[in-house]
Chain A
Amino acid sequence: MLERCIGERRLRQIQRGVQNMKLTFLCLLLTLLVLRGTIGAGKYGTPQQDFIELRQRFISHPHRALAEQNQPEPKPKKSDKDDEPPLRSLNDPYSLGPKISDWDSQRADWIRRHPERPNFLTKTKPRVLLVTGSSPKPCENPVGDHYLLKSIKNKIDYCRVHNIEIFYNMALLDAEMAGFWAKLPLIRALLLAHPEVEFLWWMDSDAMFTDMAFELPWERYAPYNLVMHGWDEMVYKDKNWIGLNTGSFLLRNCQWSLDLLDAWAPMGPKGPVRTEAGKILTKTLKDRPVFEADDQSAMVYLLVTQKEKWANKVYLESAYYLHGYWGILVDRYEEMIENYHPGLGDHRWPLVTHFVGCKPCGKFGDYPVERCLKQMDRAFNFGDNQILQMYGFTHKSLASRRVRRVRNETSNPLEVKDELGLLHPDFKAVQHHAS
């Protein structure tokens, strides 16, 4: 019937036209698919996104950390909101606590009244409190807590051998000074509560002791109140933001230190204060990236801008690794074992290996996870070997958790001395005086 309306020729033309259209349409569809697969179509989704969605729906995520990443941020509970302090405005000055001006005499009186807790253990060795800490909440990374545990064991070992007390902090004393600034209110509280402590040694939780035999040169620091690893030229001349490191430093318990803390704190309060301060720091300091104010940059800024006031009591130590950046140390451990020995503390056998940027407790740090965790194991074992040798053991290798015996048991254990002399070292000896 159609034939008669249009005519055979016409009909065939139409048929051919329709077939061509079909082919064109099919090809267009294919092209779109391929393009979507390779270049992606943004909010309309890519096949990879489809795959991820499918996977998520059907397979449960084994890890807390990564599941959180794919879920939207949970709405903050009302109770959390109440705890958050209102953000401090720029013209509202922050204070760590009521001003104290006579701390040196208060402290001297107390020490005089309590001779059983002297601030010096021997003529030269001060009473030291090592302070470190971590969050009271479980780590987001499933093995983060395990590395924190190994790190504190490492510190317990060094401090037992060197007669140093430890304070492990898990409390946020001031919500305004959260993050890297949390150490300031903590340090002040500890200095004031422990007048018997002569030096407070702050150490980050991602720093490990790798030289168990190295005793700090306390006599060198007698004229100083703040000892940090760093270089004078990099701080005072270059104004470089990594000219010093606040991951491991010594602070004397005295009025000067309280004043320093008060001068250091203003850039810390969360919110517009910290953000604005960050801009000033990036502008003033060399190579500093753009981010909110951190305690280390603020310290450099303080020393540079108020040099006359503080610099004469600050010692920037570079003769040994009071802080040792892990990147240049961890691959050389075997070389060190072959060529050197513990007790040097410097590039030959670092006192501290500091895993800056690794963040084992958080989700992802600045470095690949594998390198960080494996190297932390090596650093831990490197230090642990020096402790185990006291008892006649050593790790099978720097990567192995297992230990093997290197010294046989004997029926005269007291005649055997450990190679490094760490069982009864001089720096642990008690002042021999009539008690």
Chain B
Amino acid sequence: MGHEGVGFKSGSTRSGLPTTRSRVPRGRQIQKTFNNVKITVLCGFVTLLVLRGTIGVGNLTGSTLESEDQRVVEDIDRILREIRTDSEPEPQDPLSSLYFANSTAHNWTYAEAVEAVNYSLGPKISDWDQQRQVWLSQNPNFPNRLLGKHRILLVTGSPPNPCDNAIGDHYLLKSTKNKIDYCRLHGIEIVYNMAHLDKELAGYWAKLPLIRKLMLSHPEIEWIWWMDSDAFFTDMAFELPLEKYKNHNLIIHGYPDLLFEQHSWIALNTGSFLFRNCQWSLDLLDAWAPMGPKGIVRELAGKILTANLKGRPAFEADDQSALIYLLTSQQDKWMSKVYVENSYYLHGFWAGLVDKYEEMIEQNHPGLGDERWPFVTHFVGCKPCGSYGDYPVERCLSSMERAFNFGDNQVLRLYGFAHKGLVSPKIKRVRDQTSDPLQVKEKLDMAARITM
């Protein structure tokens, strides 16, 4: 023990006590520093590994259920983005080069632009009435009347890609169901278009080539009825008074004073109108189309329309303004065959109607078609499919739901049901089931009052 103590003591005087730092050999110091550095590097390496393992992107060997879902979520985001956008490039607008190439050198006028573009809906047909008559006589199995009534084809549509706003597709679906219901009750065929038949006449003008194409393909159809996708049938019992129109070829909702005296840009509404399948209609379509082609023509035409129509804001030419301009500037040529209808709501502007539905249910009954029970409620300006409309989104959506349910009640009534309220998708039974359902059916009147 004593020896040890001595030995230790002597050793300690030689080891690295703080007071005797100068006496520590260099080697030992370097070794110590080297050890420290090793440990630091090792710790740094381990830290990096750990960080990479936890926060790093990519393979986690022990992934949990949440991370699996996270990946699926990211996948769905990517897929939805792909579906929404069209991976194909926009076709080159052949007219834009025309515009930009010469715009500095030459100030295009509308007439020049129309001539340069030289747009046409198709080869000129001059004998459509005769062609159609011959075909009908050769095809008695495809008459233009069914049960005494002229055949009508309802045409509507929407763009082929998903709506920017997902709720827009839901209301397109409801609008389509609403049209299916009315047309089933009235023996009308439906064409739902999702194809851009003519890239020059895109947007609201797309209905022109479509209507022409359908007229020429279906000679058995007497009336083509265009209806916007944002218009809902709210009177399921109302039947179009076609006998009133036997001397007319275009039936459109509007106000004659707004049209002839004020030249207002909302004097007529092209959201819901009927064209007779005849030569006159083909001629009108040909006269209507020139303002439509995308690009320079539509822009210059827009300026003319804004200058000539009351209240029209400045934007490119739209089909409604163009038709009003055409009919007012060539009154003598066309107006004798145009019926400007306002005795019922072939088009009913939604804002003045949707709040009155409960009042209508209480006081009136279906079948009237006018302000007491509107035939069509048209959600102009709402644009639920796009990113923004002219009205607050919530008001638009809840009003569309109300209009849909208001019409749907008249359909559900046949089966003994009704919606619980105009905003509710839920339904309740309003007529008990019976073992004699056909007795009830015989007494059912589509135009009877609705009880809620």
Contact = CB atoms under 8 A, between A and B. Distances in A.
Given A109-B438, A170-B425, A40 B62 contact: yes
A173 B173 contact: no
A428 B135 CA distance: 16
A329 to B, nearest CB: 21
A47 B54 CA distance: 6
Given A9-B12, A66-B73, A412-B131, A171 B176 contact: no
B146 interface: yes
B147 A435 contact: yes
Interface string B409-452: 00010111100000001110000011111100110000000000
B228 to A, nearest CB: 15
A129 to B, nearest CB: 9
Nearest to B5: A9
A204 B382 CA distance: 31
A339 interface: no
A83 B76 CA distance: 34
Interface in B297-337: none
Contacts of A370: 75, 79
Give the contact-size bracket for chain A.
Answer: 35 or more
B180 interface: yes
A171 B405 CA distance: 11
B283 interface: no
Interface stretch (A140-148, A225-233, A282-290, A296-304): A140-148
Given A116-B147, A393-B195, A430-B146, A171 B53 contact: no
Interface string B64-99: 101101101101110110010010100000000000
Interface string B342-360: 0000000000000000000
A307 B135 CA distance: 53
B61 A166 contact: no
Q: 5 closest pairs, A vs B, by CB?
A: A47-B54, A136-B425, A429-B141, A145-B169, A409-B122
Interface of A: 8-9, 26, 30, 33-34, 36-40, 46-49, 51-52, 62-64, 66, 69, 83, 97-100, 106-107, 109-110, 116, 134, 136-139, 142-143, 145-146, 148-150, 152-153, 156-157, 160, 165-168, 170-173, 189-190, 192-193, 195, 364, 369-370, 373, 377, 384, 388, 390-393, 396, 400-403, 409-414, 423-424, 428-430, 432, 435
Interface of B: 8, 12, 17, 43, 46-47, 49-50, 53-55, 60-64, 66-67, 69-70, 72-73, 75-77, 79-80, 83, 86, 88, 122-125, 131-132, 134-135, 139-143, 146-148, 158, 160-163, 166-167, 169-170, 172-174, 176-177, 180-181, 184, 189-192, 194-197, 213-214, 216-220, 408, 412, 414-417, 425-427, 433-438, 441-442
21 contacts: A33-B54, A49-B66, A63-B76, A69-B69, A106-B436, A145-B173, A149-B169, A149-B176, A150-B194, A153-B176, A153-B192, A156-B191, A160-B191, A168-B177, A192-B438, A369-B76, A369-B79, A390-B217, A401-B161, A413-B131, A430-B146
